[in-house]
Amino acid sequence: MPTSFSPTLTQEEVLSLKEVFSSHFPVGTILSRAVLRGHDPLSEEIACRHFGAFTAENSMKPEAVQPGVGAFNFAEADRLVELAERCGAVAVGHTLLWHQQTPKWFFEGENGAPVTRDLALERMRGHINAVAGRYKGRIKEWDVVNEAISDVEGVFLRPSPWLDAIGEDYIAQAFRMAHEADPNAILIYNDYNIETPAKRDKTLRLLKSLLDAGVPIHAVGIQGHWRTTYSSLADAEAALEAFASLGLKVMITEMDIGVLPTNYQGAEISTREDEGERINPYIEALPDDVAQYQADYYREFFELFFRFKAHIGRVTLWGVHDGFSWLNDFPVRGRTDHPLLFDREGNPKAAFFAVVEAAQAQSARESETHNAA
């Protein structure tokens, strides 16, 4: 991907999202490995100017920070924390424990045997201590456990090598260890589709059981990978209500609104031309009507977040601009999606202005209430 795109407006000519949201909640973004290696100055500039929280897209996952037993690699993670401090953004850690992007050695025991519960717990503690401990006081929020709930009806937790090795209490153990490593960090349980009825109840069950057991958990992260082809607003509202009623903060941790069709077949893009166009329709540009539809959808989400403002801790977008969104390769490789607030040239989209307007309208409502009081 070229990094030499030149936006038609300079960043200084566009209102800063960070300023517009200064009296609300931080709106964050992710920093990719390319940004953290210094290879993507455009994204770095937009992130620093507009976003109030930085999450590492990949650089703090177990495979990135501890590829081999005790062999740590903190260069990119260090850089994220430094950039956050320089830009006045909150540094967010993602993620201490996950079933993906985690090296196999965590789960290998002596002579090829599966790891024992004790050894798995020791490795978990070693990892969490080293990573959360290193950034104590600097990384303010941690996604402690990522995606532990099953998508399958009637099944509570998803299959995971952590579950196999330790049992259902692996989640509670991880939160306790993270709290020991950094007692002031905000600890988050993070997952996708947990706003949907199918996963919401299981999530509530998990969160309640952790809270009842006195486990240090402070927030729940709704990833927020949404799509223009489906309305998730009602589900999101019901979930915000349910999660907030537990007394937990809610973070929207990975928001994007994809615009591509979902009724594709197979994982790879079709080579038949008509099929290719059907499943990848916006290669050249995002048509105005779709851009406007997406903008309205973003606006409605932010209006919802403002209605729950007392409970929302942060809203993070999973990408700086459309060119570097993971959705260009997921769940189908090589498509051209347009899910974020900035386009491939780094220009703000209709969605950006809709989010700004929602924030300004909220500020105006608050100052009216204030003046009336």
Active site residues: 147, 254
Using the rule CB under 6 A, which residue among 254, 256, 337, 343 binds ligand XIL? 254
Nearer to ligand XIL, 32 or 228 (CB): 32
Residue placing its CB nearer to ligand XIL in the complex, 141 or 254: 254
Residue 146 CB, shortest distance to ligand XIL, in Å, is: 5
Residue 287 CA, chain-centre distance (Å), reads 27
**In the block, residue with structure tokens 């999973």:** 318
Q: Which residue is nearest to ligand XIL (CB)?
A: 326
Q: Is 247 left (phi over 0), alpha (psi -120 to 50) or beta?
A: left
Task: Pick the closer one to ligand XIL by CB: 223 or 362.
Answer: 223
Residue from the set 57, 195, 322, 343 that interacts with ligand XIL by CB under 6 A: 57
Based on CB atoms, which residue is closest to ligand XIL, 294 or 316?
A: 316
CA end-to-end distance (rounded Å), the chain: 53
343 binds ligand XIL (CB under 6 A): no
Q: Pattern 199-228, binding to ligand XIL, x per CB under 6 A?
A: ------------------------x-----
Contact 292, 257 (CB under 8 A): no
Residue 306 Cα distances to 44, 247, 292, 309, 332, angstroms: 28, 17, 21, 4, 33
Helices (H), the chain: 17-20, 33-36, 41-50, 62-65, 75-87, 117-134, 161-166, 170-181, 197-212, 233-244, 273-279, 288-307, 350-372
> Quick check: 102 binds ligand XIL (CB under 6 A)?
no
Q: Which residues, other chains included, contact 119 with Cβ-Cβ below 8 Å and sequence gap of 6+?
A: 109
Sign of CA dihedral 238, 147, 305, 341: negative
326 part of the interface to ligand XIL, by CB under 6 A: yes
8 A C-beta contact, residue 129 and residue 181? yes
Least CB distance to ligand XIL at residue 318 (A):
6
Q: Using the rule CB under 6 A, is 146 a contact of ligand XIL?
A: yes
Query: Please, which residue, 146 or 232, has the CB nearer to ligand XIL?
Result: 146
Q: Does 58 bind ligand XIL (CB under 6 A)?
A: yes
Binding site for ligand XIL (CB under 6 A): 57-58, 146, 223, 254, 326
